[in-house]
Structure 1
């Protein structure tokens, strides 16, 4: 029997909930009733119920806070919330604490019983899954229905064309198919597995595949909705029958499958749903649709349910798409290269964010274009390090390895995360490696300016003296000092002019030449712009 605690500060509500529903029929025993949030929490921690049915508004501690604390403590209790107020913030918080349901007062018994039925099934399924994983170790050694699955794989691939031949094989394999009924094919694919739970050993790969297959089969059996089989260890095919379509359950069943796989196996799963067909020989068309729909996972991310009816394409996804015209790849290349060489992580990541925001804001960009653009960004990152005579292979791997990883990723979000991590590694590498070197270079530039400001000094001449390109020396100087080299030259000249005006009797013409200006009028213009007054006025203001 499953154990349940009912919590509500109103006696009549609590008593009604405890007695009006035949809990035994659901395999549930009500072990306690609580009158406030603190008592509810304490009871849950000591009695460890399987289900908590609680009102939200209660004294001392509300139901949402109880649910949050139970989640923090790692309590496995399934929480079903009751509220007398229809409040969006309550519903949102209910999602945050992984509540199994949110029911409004006055409580409708049929709604409550339906929700309880789902929760009980979920608990049983989760408990059975762990037990069956152990049992599957033994089942792996036994012969399975290879011939049946081979037939199903060939059927959805369109190898069989003759309807009568297919019906004969369906009868032989005792499959619940009838010609003329409506069918839909859905394709489930593993997105990502928690590597802490499932390592890369072959045994674990097989166990995970069997466990997911078992969850899908049980879910379909619960609804009498169809059959499933493995296409390969990462792909599972569902053939939904007419009953599932009569009650419009396909999307809901897919959602439950994904939720159960997420929670029980810590694995994400996406599902593509094909179109209706009414002949068994046409199942391959629905299968192709489901595979086409799945490719849009590249943009929707993991744990997606993609129905071909919601997508304006049933052919090759890459035939749809274009290139965002607003994306200036030349500008991106220059800016990203500069920020990487400077070790400026924040600005380099901002460039990357802008690129991906641009792509996601443009409908139906071809997947091949996104992948090619990511490869180009890898070349920029790698090329930036080469320009500084540095090798980042230890950080990023070889170009071949990196490109292979780019094309192996199934969603645009994985691509972005991968490039973000790479940029962080490379910029932090350059930042730590060149911080002292840059400081020495900046000091050398300042010294050159201090010694040569009376002369015709400029960025190109300074760059030549420190053996760097004008662009790069300008970038690191600006990053370190907040000023351009030209601004710093002007600052140095103006400070020298100020001292000469205060401490010498030299004419303005002479002072202009002494600080590097051939044209005294231009010198006066710059001085006034810098200090707000003409040189003669400045001298008068500071004369003894």
Structure 2
């Protein structure tokens, strides 16, 4: 590439790159000497060890990580292992001064793109970036190649197998377990497990676009999920469906293990989809069920989770149990789409949306109803609202403790015209909306406060972290992390570390305990890493802090 020519990436946005090396002069030298923008890259951060790198990766999601191998606290190989587990799409390059065969073997095992030996010249770095940009571009092109996708489209699963999978989602009548398992076996599908959860997302491509984009999304989903034994992946209408399965073999408390697996697969799938496609993606996760006949219920709950995407735009993975109480499912099959939209706006929308949906409910749709038909129509809406408020522990007759109870059936008799019905429902729905919004806000605050309390109780334990606190309060890690940061302004890891450092400062001021004893007392398994974090947060070492506060 000529010096004056700048590389343009597939989406006209620079690829994000993270530098990881424990030698600050090396990092600064590489960053300062390399013309990143010329090759379509921007450096989003630097890290001096693997733990720092993981924090930056979690926040900024780089496309490429260039890392050394030998670093303190968490070395390069362990960092690469964790990246492959949690952030598999990231392109990894090793830049090391150690030419050892064992390292090269591990690099191959973890699908490292390049292994470059130090010292490295500017020319070498430029060539490296040019190769990397080309590889990233080709990877995206490969996923969107029309000829390859057309061939894959023609090689789709047989119709009978697809119909069977769809029937698992849409069956109204309860299916015999033995019959379902036997039929699945005929089609090469394993339903013999006892753990099932449905994940789904909408493809949302425009009608004028080629259906090959949907096929591309299906294929990416298959490539990501079918690495694991069990998931069933297929297309249904404008959705990609994944039925994630496993067998507990009667192990106690296996549900928690399976849910973590489902969350991990959903996060990996989202990472790949957001890498290859520029449209917004939200993945809905249904309830965990224990029989093939209950797959349809998990699917309906996954769709219910997707309905919250408008109200939680920052959440890319929506687990129904994070959003509604378990088994609190609206019986949507009894309602027309207008009523369903109305109920959703009462639950999660603004007051203006509630009023607008009431106007639609009592507009043209209800204009031609007889008096008896209007009463029946009203009773359907009342039933929906009643089920909604009961899910939040209320009743329609006593939504507000400060007001007298409402005699619903007495008041229904007065709703003889559409205008009266519209005004009455507007008042009732807005009251319900305020009550639910207040409870939802309180529930967010409550679980964040609960998490803070758990941190205060368990921060001394070196093994205490995100997975442990999520298990204790029964929410998924992705939902917890986003909500915790939104409510507190800092990530969970930052809050936990701040708590540990604050307690360490107290011990340094008031006791004569040695630094390594204080490190262990506040939850750091590695004393050297404690000193590193303390200086990073306070600007001085623990011993310097102690001297200045005596």
Q: TM-score, normalised by structure 2?
A: 0.42
Q: TM-score, normalised by structure 1?
A: 0.42
| Higher CA-based Rg | 1
